[in-house]
Amino acid sequence: MQKEQDNRSEVLVDVQNVSKKFCKNLKKSMIYGFTDLFRIKKTNKIRLRKDEFWALQDVSLSLKRGEMLAILGLNGAGKTTLIRLITKTFPVSSGRINLFGRIVTIYEKNRALNKFYSGRENIKVKCALFQMSRKETMEKIDTILNFAEIKEFADAPFGTYSTGMKARINFAIAFYSNPDIIIIDEGFATSDRKILEKYIAIIRENSHKFGVIIISHNQVIIKELANKIVILKKGKVFYNSYNVSKGLQIYNSYKNNTKTS
Amino acid sequence: MNNIKISDIISVWQSIISNIFKYSELLKQLVYISLTQQFKKSILGNAWLVIDPLMSIFIWLILHSAGMFNPGETNIPYPAYLLVSISLWTFFVGFFNTIGISITEAGRMLIEVSFPIEIKVTEKIIINIVNFIITLTFCIVVLLFFGINFNVKSLLFIPSIIPLLLFGVSLGLFFSLFEVVFFDIYLVVKRSMRLLMYLTPIVYSTNIKSGFLGTIAKYNPLTYLTSIPRDLLTGVENIELTGFWITSGIVLIIFILVVQFYYLSVNKVIEKILD
């Protein structure tokens, strides 16, 4: 019990005053990228150049083991940018992100998987991408196939799988790769109610083992899973609290006001 | 790139090596996928690694026999000369072609979760080496058919292609950054590769009787990087190594600088492929 309490206070993601800028104009973005190549020295002063804008500004948040953090925001609020900064896919423009533990992602699309290769082969690649050793992968492969309910199609090309099968395999790989941090960015969007309940049940049952960050437009999932909420508004943190139901109320009223205006 | 310290270079290399160990399973999986995928949709499969140089040789032999082209005096039969030369050129340009697009190619996986891009680069290096081993095996059989006498010096062929590898990797790494943020530059360099082949003694010998090509060949670093391995493999006597050693030294310095530059810059361009 004591160990579990200690675990629950363990910080897994620490986002400190993070800002990220992008460029609206593709050609300018490439030109800036080219000039930045030769800018080796780091500078603390960050200014916006023509056509650049702040996608995120001074964002701070944390995720501890056992926490399930829902990030809400209207389209363009910076949710996906924040996720890409946390997964270290994008470098931050300023600020700092510290990660402690193995991070896995569940997205709506399976971009890393190869349609010409079998489900089994794709599991091996994706497990390796999530830093699992060969031994760990071989130990888990049958569990993954069973959970995803695709054992009899394990050696069929991935391209022949249905959207539901792809989504299940994606979830199963992430869940069984011993993650510390699970990022779900609309990862359940293609799942039916029955499979969704299965995901929610298994995450809740094992919630003490990891921290979860969820982005979803489905508020049922958020109500069922989240115990912490952050609302982003135009790239800034607008609300950050453990009171999920109040957070949802605030978000819904903000969303409705935006629609009316 | 001002004031690069030895400690900076060491720290970059420590990081690269540690990442390769940390992601060794991913590297193995990527190599497996690449090796099996490159000709997955082709009936002839890996045979294309041999067919490609054979087709080039065929074209040059037709031009040669029609008297349209005088390659100059070669130490070994011209078809054998062409086979070794074109294989070496394919080896060199393969690094540029595959590493050059490695950042864009890794994009699909990088968007899932970040992993060190050097894993993708190492995968490309391994694939090119494996492809070259297949082509080289075929070359040796053909050279034996042409009565080429291999000697102890032929064994030096393997270490002698390292500078060519380093030069190809350097070009690939450097221009892979441009492939993302300044595609025009990458395209110009890619298109110039064929011209560069004609300016290097690949389809003609270093003894070609053309003042222009002779002068270019003299100052072209690829002349030394391709002709010395070729001469070593085919048992040519009295090889002049000075140009090769100087070029190799310069290539080594270029390689170290490019790796440093690439390592410091690659993260800045990765987001451009995912925008």
- Domains in chain A with CATH codes: 2-17+59-260 (3.40.50.300)
ipTM entry: 0.81
* Interchain pair A90, B271: CB under 8 A: yes
Q: State mean pLDDT over A31-46.
A: 74
C-beta of residue B88 within 8 angstroms of C-beta of residue B203? no
Residues A98-145 have pLDDT tens digits of 999 999 998 877 766 778 888 899 999 999 998 899 999 999 999 999
Number of domains in chain B: 1
Q: What is the pLDDT along chain B (275 residues), one digit of tens a residue?
A: 556 788 888 999 999 999 999 999 999 999 988 888 776 667 777 677 778 777 877 777 777 776 666 667 777 888 888 889 999 999 999 999 999 999 998 887 887 778 899 999 999 999 999 989 988 888 888 888 888 888 888 899 999 999 999 999 999 999 999 998 888 899 999 999 989 998 888 888 877 666 777 788 888 999 999 999 999 998 887 788 899 999 999 999 999 999 999 998 888 888 887 65
Predicted local distance difference test score (pLDDT) of residue A3: 43
* Interchain pair A91, B267: CB under 8 A: yes
Tell me the CA distances in angstroms from A252 to A68, A187, A227, A240, B30, one per residue in order.
20, 22, 17, 15, 45
Domain membership flag for residue B1: no
Residues of A in contact with B268 (CB under 8 A): 33, 36-37, 91
DSSP string, A164-224: HHHHHHHHHHHHTS--SEEEEESTTTT--HHHHHHHHHHHHHTGGG-EEEEE-S-HHHHHH
Residues B86-123 have pLDDT tens digits of 999 999 999 999 999 999 988 878 877 788 999 999 99
Helix/strand/coil (H, E, C) string of B104-171? HHHHHHHCCCCCCCHHHHHHHHHHHHHHHHHHHHHHHHHHHHCCCCCCHHHHHHHHHCHHHHHHHHHH
Predicted local distance difference test score (pLDDT) of residue A39: 74
Best of A20, A23, A34 to mutate (most B CBs within 10 Å, chain B): A34
Instruction: Kindly identify which residue of chain B lies nearest to residue A104, measuring between CA atoms.
Output: B113
Predicted local distance difference test score (pLDDT) of residue B273: 77
pLDDT at A183 over 90: yes
Residue with tokens 């082949």: B197
List the single residue in A36, A90, A105 with the smallest CB-CB distance to B112.
A105
Count Cβ atoms within 10 A of the Cβ of residue A5 and give its class: 0-12 exposed, 13-18 middle, 19 or more buried: exposed
**Residues B185, B102: Cα–Cα separation, whole Å:** 16
Range of the domain at B212: 6-274
A156 Rama sector, left if φ>0, alpha if ψ -120 to 50, beta otherwise: beta
B4 SS3 class: coil
Domain membership flag for residue B216: yes
Residues of B in contact with A117 (CB under 8 A): 33, 37
Residues A155-180 have pLDDT tens digits of 998 888 888 888 889 899 999 999 99
Side by side, the strands of the sheet bearing A103-107 are A103-107, A181-185, A211-215, A68-73, A228-233, A236-241
* Interchain pair B269, A117: CB under 8 A: no
Domain membership flag for residue B104: yes
DSSP string, B171-214: HHHHHHHHHHH-HHHHHHHHHHHHHHHHTTTTSS-TT-S-HHHH
Helix/strand/coil (H, E, C) string of A89-126? CCCCCEEEEEECCCEEEEECCCCCCCCCCEHHHHHHHH
Domain membership flag for residue B251: yes
**Residues A95, A46: Cα–Cα separation, whole Å:** 11
Distance from CA of B28 to the nearest CA of A (A): 9
